[in-house]
Amino acid sequence: MKHYAGLDVSVKETTICVVDEDGQICREMKVTSHPEDLALALSGIGVRIERIGLEAGPLSQWLFEGLARAGLPVICIETRHTKAFLKAQVNKTDRNDARGIAQMMRVNLYRPVHVKTLESQQRRALLRARKLLQEKAIAVENEIRGLLRNFGLKVGIVGAGKFEARVQDLIEALPELEEVISVLLATRRKLRESFARLHGKVLEIAKADAVCMRLMTIPGVGPVTSLAFISTIDIPARFRSSRSVGPVLGLTPVLNQSGESQRVGRVSLCGDGMMRALLYEAAQAMLTRVKKWSWLKAWAV
């Protein structure tokens, strides 16, 4: 008899439910959220498990790789699709969620999610860390501008390199304010230095990658966009055609059809938000900053 398992993962513990092909619950347990502990628990049940459902989440990539290395038939499933299925339950608990995921595996009612390779995960981590440092540095800079404005001091339009010198000139006559602002300036300086190191790493990786260099020949596309695109696509062979990429990035319109009514709405905005933002910036750069004419720019305008 075939058996199916559902895993409801939390930070500390994972709830496991195993059902047979008739939907009867065979085993339920809680295990520490670690690949080795989960593999040991699932292997020690004593039955052959056909499919193991794991909802996509913060720990899913780590757990998926560990269970896959242990030879278990684990499948990472889409969160939005799973949420719609589990919404029919009256009571939401970890136990009921694990039961619901197990039933989804049994009736083959799930949507698998691609788990990125380790290299793509590492590149994504680099890009996210770079973006975080950039945002925090800008936030500190805006806070400094706001604090100075309360005292009638206006920084004005200055470049990033001249910002600190401009602020120092403004607060020179206010020693009490200088003590506060100097701390913020030191924080901004440290953030910008860390950002520069990570940005240099991005440039280094992009320069050594032939695909990145090829993508950068597109007007408006730079090293950050090209590296993000490669890490998002990960394995190009998983797409049947180039038309399949748009829906994954949330760039295709939503269709609402019922009877005689059919409405095409806005783009779905599903998937990777960072990649969509970078593509939008690349398109804006091509249209407004790139002076050289191209067939792509002609198509856009």
Q: What is the pTM of this model?
A: 0.86
Select the highest-mean-pLDDT range: 20-29, 43-52, 192-201, 250-259. Answer: 192-201
Distances (CA, A) of 221 to 67, 72, 229, 275, 281: 38, 41, 10, 12, 9
Is the confidence at residue 90, as pLDDT, over 90?
no
Quickly state the pLDDT bin for 1 (edges 50, 70, 90).
confident
Taking only the tens place, the pLDDT of each residue in 263-289 is 988 988 888 899 999 999 999 999 998
Is the confidence at residue 7, as pLDDT, over 90?
yes
> Please, are residues 243 and 252 in contact by the beta-carbon 8 Å criterion?
no
Break the chain into its structural domains and give their ranges.
Answer: 3-107, 118-207, 209-255+266-301
DSSP assigned state of 47: S
What is 3-107's CATH topology? Answer: Nucleotidyltransferase; domain 5 (3.30.420)
Q: Which residues pair with 258 in a beta bridge?
A: 261
Identify the pLDDT of residue 54: 94
Other CB atoms within 10 Å distance of the CB of residue 191? 20
Q: How many CA atoms lie within 13 A of 103 on its CB side?
A: 14
> Please, are residues 36 and 48 in contact by the beta-carbon 8 Å criterion?
no
pLDDT-wise least confident of 87-91, 119-123, 163-167, 225-229:
87-91
Identify the pLDDT of residue 119: 94
Distances (CA, A) of 3 to 51, 60, 86, 95: 8, 21, 20, 18
Taking only the tens place, the pLDDT of each residue in 27-43 is 999 999 999 999 999 99
**Is the four-CA dihedral 116, 119, 122, 123 of positive or negative sign?**
negative
